[in-house]
């Protein structure tokens, strides 16, 4: 007879409000599997579904004294579980949005630092090019900035191709050493 008394909604709600554990156990055993299946279908994740269902029953127990169930307990539990699922999704979206923002900011900081470093190194490179001996600087700029071939530079400056190669090698070695020191 004790088990059957919970088929009466008023007795069940009364016992729940009074904290009678068998009443809660009856509700839990009656709806857990169905509620878990429902939330699993909605979220597509069994682990998340179990967490939400557990939260649902915890919240249900915590609010037992204030329960106002107009329709039926099943509908009340399903609505509560659905709302908890929606809340978890909102939290996940906020966390994901925050994570993307943090990743973006980190990436921009790296780019900015790289850009500053590149700018600093280019400035240093230009300063060092200006310090090259006149003929070496002219040969280097014609080759690297002007895009001329060694043979063209040799004809233009009336020097040998070998001299062009020597000037380019000296300039490159000096620039490389300067940049490596930094």
Cα distances (angstroms) measured from residue 179 to each of 3, 124, 128, 136, 166: 85, 8, 9, 18, 20
**Residue 147 banded pLDDT, cuts 50, 70, 90:** confident
**Residue 133 banded pLDDT, cuts 50, 70, 90:** very high
Cβ atoms < 10 Å from Cβ of 144: 14
Residue 148 DSSP label: -
Length of the chain: 182
Task: Give 161-170 pLDDT, tens digit per residue.
Answer: 889 888 888 8
Mean pLDDT estimate for the chain: 85
Segment 60-85 mean pLDDT: 87
Segment 71-94 mean pLDDT: 88
Q: Which CATH number is 132-181's, of 1.10.1060, 1.10.287, 2.60.40, 1.10.10?
A: 1.10.10
Segment 123-148 mean pLDDT: 88
Task: Give 16-68 pLDDT, tens digit per residue.
Answer: 888 889 988 999 998 999 999 999 998 888 888 899 999 999 999 998 888 78
Helices (H), 7-72: 9-17, 21-43, 46-62
Instruction: With a cut of 60, say whether residue 85 has pLDDT above it.
Output: yes
Residue 1 DSSP label: -
Burial 60-81 (b: 16+ CB within 10 A, else e): beeebeeeeeeeebeebbbebb
Question: Is it true that domain 4-98 has CATH number 1.10.1740.10?
Answer: yes
Residue scoring higher pLDDT (158 or 179): 158
**Residue 78 banded pLDDT, cuts 50, 70, 90:** very high
N-terminal to C-terminal alpha carbon distance within the chain = 88
pLDDT score, position 1: 40
Cβ atoms < 10 Å from Cβ of 107: 10
**Domain locations in the chain?**
4-98, 132-181
pLDDT score, position 148: 85
Query: Which tokens is 52 given?
Result: 């939400």
Cα distances (angstroms) measured from residue 14 to each of 27, 38, 56: 13, 27, 20
Burial of 158 (0-12, 13-18, 19+ CB in 10 A): exposed
pLDDT score, position 2: 54
Give me the percent of the chain exceeding a pLDDT of 70.
97
Regarding pTM above 0.95, the answer is: no
């Amino acid at each position: 007879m004790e088990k059957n008394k919970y088929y009466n909604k008023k007795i069940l709600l009364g016992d729940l409000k009074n904290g009678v554990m068998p009443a809660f156990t009856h509700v839990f055993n009656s709806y857990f599997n169905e509620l878990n299946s429902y939330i699993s279908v909605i979220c597509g994740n069994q682990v998340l579904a179990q967490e939400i269902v557990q939260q649902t029953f915890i919240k249900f127990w915590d609010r037992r004294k204030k329960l106002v169930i107009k329709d039926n307990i099943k509908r009340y539990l399903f609505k509560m579980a659905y709302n908890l699922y929606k809340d978890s999704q909102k939290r996940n979206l906020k966390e994901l949005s925050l994570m993307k923002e943090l990743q973006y900011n980190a990436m921009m900081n790296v780019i900015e630092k790289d850009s500053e470093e590149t700018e600093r190194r280019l400035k240093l490179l230009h300063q060092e090019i200006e310090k090259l001996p006149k003929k070496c600087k002219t040969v280097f700029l014609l080759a690297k900035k002007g895009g001329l071939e060694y043979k063209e530079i040799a004809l233009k400056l009336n020097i040998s191709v070998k001299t062009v190669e020597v000037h380019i090698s000296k300039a490159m070695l000096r620039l490389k050493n300067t940049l490596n020191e930094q």
